[in-house]
Amino acid sequence: MELINIPLYAQVQWKLTTTRFEEWFESDLFTFNWWTMLVLFIICSYLWWKLTDKSRLKEIVLYTGLVIIMIIILDEFGEELSLWVYTTDIFPIFPPITAIDISCMPMIYSLIYQCFRTWKSFIIATIVMATVFCLVFEPIFVWSGIYIMLRWKSYYGFPIYISIALISKAAVNKAYYVSKESLN
């Protein structure tokens, strides 16, 4: 690719992208971890579709969509700030870790939203979820070598996982409230 006449940061970006592709081909693609990611992606997407209450689909997709946007943005922030790094991805371009960002975590958030309709039960379930993320899932990912924390501790993520759920639920509630109120 022609790299003359383009800004310095775009040249460095290109170097980063090509290096990621090289690493992906050399030591990532078709490895055990790579297949795990692919399988996780498919299973979580499938489970989400099977377990979602279709009569509330429009509301649940709105919630899940908001969750996905926040997860993707926060994960990309962490990656660009070198707070953490992933060694495996289904595809080496955005988002940072495809299966977890747009399939597994949104599925879990979505099911909790669906099952726990009152604020109190929702908050309790979300706290339990965040605890499991920090104390079980993250250590497993670190142990398997997929996830490396550079300048990060599991418990930093705890309030963030909870905030994502609370903000998304509040936003969906607000949107449905405004829709209903403006009808009158």
Instruction: Judge whether 167 and 70 are in contact, CB under 8 Å.
Output: yes
Distance CA(39)–CA(10), nearest Å, equals: 34
Please identify, among the stretches 85-93, 110-118, 120-128, 153-161, the one whose residues bind another protein according to the rule CB under 8 A: 85-93
Kindly provide the residue ranges of all beta strands, DSSP E only, lying in the chain, ordered along the sequence: 84-86, 147-149
| Binder among 42, 51, 61, 124 for another protein (CB under 8 A) | 61
Among 67-75, 107-115, 126-134, 153-161, which window interacts with another protein (CB under 8 A)?
67-75
Closest contact distance (angstroms) between CB of 107 and another protein is: 15
Asked if 83 is part of the footprint of another protein (rule: CB under 8 A), the reply reads no
* Cα distances (Å, whole numbers) of residue 8 to 17, 93, 96: 14, 20, 23
Cβ-based nearer residue to another protein, 120 or 183 = 183
Among 42, 150, 166, 170, the residue binding another protein under the rule CB under 8 A is: 150
Toward another protein, which CB reaches closer, 9 or 30? 9
Between 78 and 157, CB nearer to another protein = 78
Q: According to the binding rule CB under 8 A, does residue 127 interact with another protein?
A: no
Q: Which of 111, 110, 158, 101 is nearest to 131 (CA)?
A: 158
Query: Binding segment for another protein among 54-62, 119-127, 128-136, 159-167 (CB under 8 A)?
Result: 54-62
> Which of these ranges, 35-43, 52-60, 110-118, 127-135, lies near another protein under the rule CB under 8 A?
52-60
| Per-residue exposure over 144-166, b if at least 16 CB sit within 10 Å of its own CB, e if not | eebbebeebeeeebbeebbebbe
CB-count burial class (<10 Å; 0-12, 13-18, 19+) for 137:
middle
